[in-house]
Amino acid sequence: MKNKPKTTVILAMTADGKIADFQRNAASFGSDIDKNHLEQQISLVDGVIFGAGTLRAYGTTLTVKNPELLANRKHNNQPSQPINIVVSASGKIADNLRFFSQPVPHWLITTEEGAKNNTSNFEKVLKFSAMETGKINLVAAFKHLKEIGLNSVAILGGGEIVASCLEQNLIDEFWLTICPFILGGKTAPTPVEGLGFLSSQAKKLQLLSLEQIEQEIFLHYKVLSI
């Protein structure tokens, strides 16, 4: 799909491919190096997107604080912080999360029904209902983001939204950090959830770069067009 922002998934995972434990607690296995890498990648985009489950797990978002990164955004005529966009079909998000007091723009992508359910302090609520009841029309949502000037976005989780975006061919690149931990658990979330793809329909990747820093491996992939 061409009429959309350049979209990059940025996730840290354990060596066995988990992004959280089986209780879906906020991940704590990424190092300070990985956190700095995440901040750098966030500083390059116009918006960051994450699901309601990710927001509930962390309660906050990662802001750009590094003075050099802030200066680069100013030089590029970007606001100091990218727009933070929560994706939730139900729209049911607690309004007491610390996220809402952080100095970032707070947007919500939801359905018509989700907008009615929402009572949180989002500055902007975007409604894109799919034909299937209770689902978000992500293609229309991403098209709208592009039309209003968001040329690049980062998806920070979770696995369900990544799966949905992959299914709709909305993802261009992946940044995956492999961390030296094993969590296990057949119900522990992975970078891509959903129903999954048959092997004949697997999304193919091209490795753009690979770097080891101390005990972590940073992988950068391009999603190949079908």
Q: Which mean pLDDT values do the consecutive 10-residue runs of the chain (226 residues) have?
A: 92 96 91 97 98 94 97 97 97 93 97 90 93 89 97 95 96 98 96 92 96 98 88
Tokens for 194, please give them. Answer: 């959903």
The pLDDT assigned to 132 comes to 79
The pLDDT assigned to 226 comes to 61
The pLDDT assigned to 196 comes to 92
Cα–Cα distance measured from residue 202 to residue 225, given in angstroms and rounded to the nearest whole number: 12
Tokens for 104, please give them. Answer: 């970032």
The CATH classification number of 6-216 equals 3.40.430.10
The angle formed by the CA atoms of residues 82, 8 and 53, to the nearest 5 degrees, is 75
Domain ranges of the chain: 6-216
